[in-house]
Amino acid sequence: MLGREARPAVGTAFSPVARMLVRWHITPDLITWTGTILTCVLALVLLIPGHLVIGPIVLTLVVLADSLDGLVARMTGTSSPWGAFLDSTLDRIADGVVLGALAVHYLAVADRGPLTIACGVLALAAVVLGAAVSYAKARAQSLGMTADVGLMERADRFVVILIGTFLAGLVGPWTMLVAMAILVAGSAWTVGQRMVEVHRQGRPAPDVQVSP
């Protein structure tokens, strides 16, 4: 939901940077790979040890810069199904690494307690449900249907993760528990919305009885 609303504003803000990358002959695929690798490395280096204030700030900058691949592709006329596939696939990896790093922090590094254990368990649940959100849409498209509905898409999930992590670094793990609960509930709701939408499109048409 946030992703669709924020895309025009992000495009306008980053257009000058995108034009500079075009002049430097930086390809969209290189931007995609670089953004994913940076996201994964920074998540592991910053979130696992517990740098929960600076970590989300740096990751926010990297995630915003990662949107440059689409801008550069459109400016150079190189948008393609391959680029969309690569971007979506690597996004799933980055999402999993960020949530996995948080799960490791709360389950193995942070002081053990009911609150931190709950945060870690919910982070693992968020990994599963985030993958299900993306899979539901991809599977629907492979069957010739659409599943574009949903309360919480990738941008929404990332906003919740980063804000929750930042606040956890400032005031304590209870804010992360709230953020993870919102993330899990929103992702589960989105999966349900997409299942309902695909069921609506995919159910067989009722037989039409022709009177003699």
Percent of the chain at pLDDT > 70 equals 91
Query: Mean pLDDT score of the chain, rounded to an integer?
Result: 89
Structure tokens belonging to residue 68: 């440059």
Is 95 labeled as ligand-binding? no
Percent of the chain at pLDDT > 90 equals 71
77-86: long-range pairs with CB below 8 Å, 24+: 78/27, 78/28, 83/28, 83/29, 83/32, 86/29, 86/32
CA distance 80 to 25: 17
Task: Please indicate whether residue 91 is annotated as part of the active site.
Answer: yes
Q: What is the CATH number of domain 2-76+84-201?
A: 1.20.120.1760
Residue with tokens 């606040």: 167
CA distance 123 to 212: 61
State how far the alpha carbon of 188 is from the alpha carbons of 65, 95, 126, in Å. 28, 16, 9
Is 156 labeled as ligand-binding? no
Is 52 labeled as ligand-binding? no
Judged against a pLDDT cut of 70, whether residue 62 lies above it is answered with: yes
Is 34 labeled as ligand-binding? no
Judged against a pLDDT cut of 50, whether residue 66 lies above it is answered with: yes
Q: Which of 91, 111, 148, 156 is catalytic?
A: 91
172-209: per-residue pLDDT in tens? 999 999 999 999 999 999 999 999 999 999 887 665 55
Q: Which amino acid is at 20?
A: M
